Structure 1
Amino acid sequence: MIGGKPAAPSSAAGATHQSEIAPGVPIVRSRLPADSVTGDRKVLVYPSSNAVDFNVQELQDIHLMGPPPLMARDLMSPYVWLEPDGRFGIMVRAVTQPGVPMTDTGIIWAGWSDDGVHFAMLDQPSIVPGAAGEKDAGGVEDPTVVRIEDGSYVVYYTGVEADMAHGEMFYATGPSVDKLRKAGVALASSKSLGNTKEATVDREKDGRWSLFYEYAADEASRVGLAIGPKVDGPWDEQPTPFMPREDGWDNWHLSTGPMLLDDPEMPVMFYNGATHDARWRIGWVAFDRELTRVVDRCIEPLITPPPVPDRTASDIAFAASVTSRDGEVWLYYSLEDRRLSRARLKRS
């Protein structure tokens, strides 16, 4: 909340003009109609520049231990981070299971772990839906945790209206994850940028904050980027970071994912992409240091959900967070919108 008003972008998003990934690797744009918000066009799959690659070395299920109201729900959006004392923190979206009356689109619960696999959850949720009439009365989703230098926390989350269909990005602050207070809207939706959510946040070398986010346009999800002086903006909209690929596995929807910052010269986002029928997979895209150019992008998905016998069933793998310590990289994600997993990655 900036000066009592929602922190909407202060400038309209512009189309990206990047023409090649690397010398000799051009970006070929689709002939399909341009994006109605930015004017960008989808691209075609291009060869890798071989700047970076990732391989999955190991998969592990994530286990939560908590109070009955939490354990009775399905689990999504596992945001995991490392504390200075070596512990793993987690915030997760807990949703009502199929067949149970839907009271909300989610509540946000926190917990701690010593091994990054088994988490002891708090007795009470950290962020709950607002009261009747409030803009997040329908549910709270998609937590993203930022630990500030003084040890306090900022948590971005999606607040959903009572209709359980429209939402925008909010944030909460507090000295600990069990003492958070809602602080207002972090990035407002608008007629052109609908349902802003799924924050990916980083502090830049010059002290500014970068905010990747998902928004709705043209009956699809897209990824935007904004830069601001503080964790709550005000936000200056940047050119489109990357677009769907017309002939790829990510040809319709895109959603933000976590950033791996081991190499500050080449930050990598593990993003989420899908077809028109919402079969979500996890891929990666690498940027230059200033986040102004794509320098490489996967051709095939990095993580695909296990096969399902019923094609109408949920077919979703969705990245939420990444940790890196002593060269060991773990990517945390949800499967089928109900269970949690992580993958150990090798960078090459």
Structure 2
Amino acid sequence: MARDLMSPYVWREPDGRYAMMVRAVVPQGQELTDTGVIWSGWSEDGRHFQMLDRPSIVPGPGDHDAGGVEDPTVVRTDRGYVVYYSGVLSDHSHGELSYAAGPSLDALTKSGVALASSKSEGNTKEATVDRTADGGWRLFYEYAADEASRVGLAVGPDVAGPWDEQPTPFTPRTDSWDDWHLSTGPLLTDDPSTPVMFYNGATRDARWRIGWVAFDADYTRVVARGIQPLVTPPPVDDRSATDIAFAASVVVVGGAIWLYYSLEDRRLARALIRRS
């Protein structure tokens, strides 16, 4: 609780409980020791979580994540858990999409880089995962290009690939709230014929909001996209203050859509989304 909290990844366990992995960050204004540590916790109601006694993923000792661990995304498997996360170098210059796996959230073993950065796609992070019809892996991710964040898509046979790059799933829109930056968000797949991503978009000055985009069943084309943001941060008096709402996960409970997100890169929130 001495740290700010962001990137709340929440899911439902087979026994009905809710689980969460969350990034804990050094508060703004304090000495930066790392860019994040990942903690886990459990809940009966999806709102009040009891955290474990120690973090599940910490920086190092490998160079690829010595500077911090960020943005957890959890995939439950027959053997336990696979956790994608963003690993940051010790000098905090850039990161790469990494992963850990294990039988429980307190017994995860780091397995290295899942998707490395390249000359054209730097700073790979913010995984969103969906399994393909043949049992493979469909991986959405954020990357840096041309001084902006973009969303990429790749498919592969296993958790770490090898990856086959797919066409860009969607792009920024001119003269819109998402005209410069785009970042991955959680997928709503209760209707497999029209999966929906609650994505993150921003103007060039990085004022992030949450929107939605719908795809066909194979993610080959966009079939619908919201015009206005779905979630906007509360107004602030100081225009220089952090102005961010950032989606992290979604859970469907009895037909209700719960969207978990962070505000100002420091506090967690949950929204109830209704289909019109």
With the shorter chain as reference, the TM-score category is: over 0.9
Q: Which aligned pairs between 1:1-348 and structure 2 lie closer than 5 A?
A: 71-131=1-61, 134-150=63-79, 152-348=80-276
Task: State how far apart, in whole Å, the 2-side matches of 1:231 and 1:203 are.
Answer: 10
TM-score, with normalisation over the residues of structure 1? 0.78
Task: State how far apart, in whole Å, the 2-side matches of 1:99 and 1:334 are.
Answer: 19
Structure with higher strand content: 2
Report the secondary structure of 1:312's partner residue: coil
Report the CA distance between 1:99 and its aligned residue.
2.4
Report the CA distance between 1:247 and its aligned residue.
1.3
Unaligned 5+ residue runs, structure 1?
Answer: 1-70
Task: State how far apart, in whole Å, the 1-side matches of 2:137 and 2:175 are.
Answer: 33
Task: State how far apart, in whole Å, the 2-side matches of 1:327 and 1:99 are.
Answer: 42
Q: Whose relative contact order is higher, 1 or 2, with alpha carbons under 8 Å and at least 6 apart?
A: 1
TM-score, with normalisation over the residues of structure 2? 0.99
Report the secondary structure of 1:156's partner residue: strand
Instruction: Note the aligned Cα RMSD (angstroms).
Output: 0.8
Unaligned 5+ residue runs, structure 2?
Answer: none
Q: What amino acid sits opposite 1:90 in the alignment?
A: M
Report the CA distance between 1:209 and its aligned residue.
1.1
Task: State how far apart, in whole Å, the 1-side matches of 2:15 and 2:68 are.
Answer: 32
Task: State how far apart, in whole Å, the 2-side matches of 1:231 and 1:314 are.
Answer: 34
Report the CA distance between 1:325 and its aligned residue.
2.4
Whichever of the two has the greater Rg, that structure is 1
Query: Residues 307-346 of structure 1, C-alpha deviation per residue, up to 9 Å, x if partnerless?
Result: 0100000000000000012211100000000000000111
Report the secondary structure of 1:239's partner residue: coil
Task: State how far apart, in whole Å, the 2-side matches of 1:289 and 1:108 are.
Answer: 32
Percent of residue pairs bearing the same amino acid type? 74
Query: Residues 61-87 of structure 1, C-alpha deviation per residue, up to 9 Å, x if partnerless?
Result: xxxxxxxxxx00000000000000011
Report the secondary structure of 2:42's partner residue: strand
Moved over 4 A (4+): none
How many residue pairs get aligned? The number is 276
Task: State how far apart, in whole Å, the 2-side matches of 1:283 and 1:166 are.
Answer: 26
Task: State how far apart, in whole Å, the 2-side matches of 1:73 and 1:94 are.
Answer: 6
Q: What amino acid sits opposite 1:155 in the alignment?
A: V
Report the CA distance between 1:251 and its aligned residue.
0.4
Report the secondary structure of 1:135's partner residue: helix
Task: State how far apart, in whole Å, the 2-side matches of 1:99 and 1:346 are.
Answer: 38
Q: What amino acid sits opposite 1:144 in the alignment?
A: T
Report the CA distance between 1:172 and its aligned residue.
0.1
Task: State how far apart, in whole Å, the 2-side matches of 1:253 and 1:101 are.
Answer: 28
